[in-house]
């Protein structure tokens, strides 16, 4: 059973590392050692023993600064950057990395179809921006289920064909079938892997090119072998997808 640490004080601090400012939340707890954690929402939380001197805490932060900044940069890559949309005629929207313009039409059915560079959004109801948003998001979700499942199968089979990593060890100490896939809209990340092995992908990833979807899926699959972003993790990612850095850059650019 884990001990329950009582929190005595919670405050905000920052330290300067080179030209970078590292802001962190400090919690004084009934514990013997100091813990530094970087969370997906780009917050840094430090838990320290009650009597810890702030100068010593700041020194520890600077000692771990490179690791902290590396973790913050990693989480930033999964922050969706697509700006807010108004869902009006002529507005551009992405699907699999390509831009399409909205064409809103009153009709006998509710539907979304791609044709000659346009999203043809047809509605039986009044054609408001909210109606267009709802219909397009439902269409995105349906396409995401198909495209993400295909990406999972494709990436899983590729990893299985490789069989070993650069350390010449068994690469996948996981079941022979792909992990469970979950799809939902996330505000902070493109993908994640749960403790139970479920891969969750952000619905908005359907706007990115297929190679970018495969990159996020592959990234999360590599976490089945290495849960942290260690050198072994990146060695495995390099083996499975040698051009992942270029694809990651594409993802960052196309979703601005």
Q: What is the pLDDT of residue 241?
A: 93
Q: Does the model's pTM come out above 0.75?
A: no
What tens-digit pLDDT sequence spans the chain (256 residues)?
A: 333 344 455 688 999 998 889 999 998 888 888 999 988 777 899 999 988 899 999 999 999 999 999 988 887 766 655 567 899 999 999 999 999 999 999 988 999 999 889 999 999 888 889 999 999 999 999 999 999 999 999 999 888 777 643 334 444 444 567 889 999 988 778 999 888 889 999 999 999 999 999 999 999 999 888 888 888 889 999 999 999 988 988 887 766 5
Q: Please give the torsion angle defined by the CA atoms of residues 193, 194, 198 and 203, in that order, rounded to the nearest 10 degrees.
A: -60
Q: What is the pLDDT of residue 174?
A: 45
Q: What is the pLDDT of residue 163?
A: 64
- For residue 241, the tally of other CB atoms under 10 A from its CB is 22
R_g of the chain computed on alpha carbons? 22
DSSP H or E stretch at residue 149: helix 129-162
Which of 157, 153, 162 has the alpha carbon at shortest distance from 213? 153
Q: What is the pLDDT of residue 195?
A: 84
Domain residues of the chain, as ranges?
7-76, 92-254
CATH number assigned to the domain covering 92-254: 3.30.2010.10
Helix axes 244-254, 210-222, angle to 10 degrees: 120
């Amino acid at each position: 059973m884990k001990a329950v640490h009582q929190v005595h004080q919670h405050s905000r601090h920052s330290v300067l590392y080179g030209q970078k400012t590292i802001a962190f939340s400090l919690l004084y707890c009934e514990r013997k050692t100091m813990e530094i954690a970087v969370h997906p929402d780009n917050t840094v939380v430090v838990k320290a023993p009650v009597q810890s001197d702030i100068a010593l805490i700041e020194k520890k932060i600077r000692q771990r600064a490179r690791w902290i900044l590396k973790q913050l940069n990693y989480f930033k890559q999964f922050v969706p950057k697509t700006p807010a949309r108004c869902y009006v005629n002529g507005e551009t929207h992405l699907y699999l990395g390509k831009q399409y313009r909205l064409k809103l039409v009153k009709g006998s059915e509710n539907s979304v179809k791609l044709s000659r560079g346009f999203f043809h959004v047809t509605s039986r109801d009044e054609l408001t921006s909210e109606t267009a948003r709802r219909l397009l998001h439902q269409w995105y979700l349906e396409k995401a289920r198909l495209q993400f499942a295909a990406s999972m199968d494709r990436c899983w089979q590729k990893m299985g064909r490789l069989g070993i990593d650069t350390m010449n060890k068994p690469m996948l100490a996981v079941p022979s079938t792909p992990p469970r896939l979950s799809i939902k809209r996330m505000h902070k990340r493109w993908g994640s892997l749960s403790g139970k092995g479920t891969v969750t992908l952000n619905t908005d990833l359907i706007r990115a090119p297929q190679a970018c979807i495969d990159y996020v899926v592959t990234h999360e699959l590599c976490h089945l072998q290495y849960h942290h972003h260690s050198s072994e993790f990146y060695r495995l990612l390099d083996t499975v997808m040698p051009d992942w850095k270029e694809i990651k850059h594409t993802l960052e650019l196309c979703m601005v």
